[in-house]
Amino acid sequence: MPGFGLGTWQNEDPEACAESVRTALETGYRHVDTAQIYGNEAAVGRGIAAADVDREDVFLATKVWIDELAHEDVLESTEESLEKLGTEYVDLLYVHWPARTYDPEETLSAFEELCDAGKTERIGVSNFEPTHIETAQSVLDTPVFANQIEIHPLLQQRELREFCADAGIEVVAYSPLARGNVFDVDVLSAIADDRGVSEAQVSLAWLRAKGVTPIPKATGADHIRDNWTSLELELSDDEIERIDGIDTERRFVDPDFGPRSW
């Protein structure tokens, strides 16, 4: 999985979404993330098709929504996702949340069927806490490849990151810029000023230093390229320690159906 990607949450205008995906891929991105609930899978597919990049070179991920997690619904809704995306398979298929119609045995057996059929190459989970992951691991024969979670300097998820690392599970960060709030964090601003970069680039570089794959949302070409430029930034040990020391735990995504354990 490429260690940096494009998030497409709230990228709802079809033409703008397709153009942002095309721009990102032609900038150098090779990881594109979407979801059924985003309502933009068709636009994402058009953006991939329009880019001067082979489909085989794109790591494409989507997520099955919480209303579609019954066994047959997983199978049917994923087929619909593939049709919208204009592809025969996705590289990674996530359970979006362990909520509503999610039943570990029923849901995950459908995911394994899709994996066996070549409809997805990997099985992922999103917004899973350790107890959810342990249950999934006990049900699946196929390894859990990734857990996509909210993570940024204001929500560092230390224990969950350590759990995933020990389990050999990749961590993918959504909202890696804390919904824009990284621009108001003094530690990040000081490092950004010292290095002549943006707070966004500092946050993304910190995540990469932690072995996390960030997928920042961006629609405009300038933001897409600014985020991509963060790959050139390597933080010093001292800078990483200063960010590690941010003493806060602020969650920006907390729906009423989210895990109560957090």
Residues assigned a catalytic role = 38
Cα–Cα distance for residue pair 148/71, rounded to 1 Å: 22
Beta-carbon contacts of 227 under 8 Å, excluding residues fewer than 6 positions away, are: 200, 201, 204, 216, 218
Tokens of 107: 């849901």
Handedness of CA 17, 99, 152, 57 (dihedral sign): negative
Main-chain dihedrals φ then ψ at residue 42, nearest 5 degrees: -65, -40
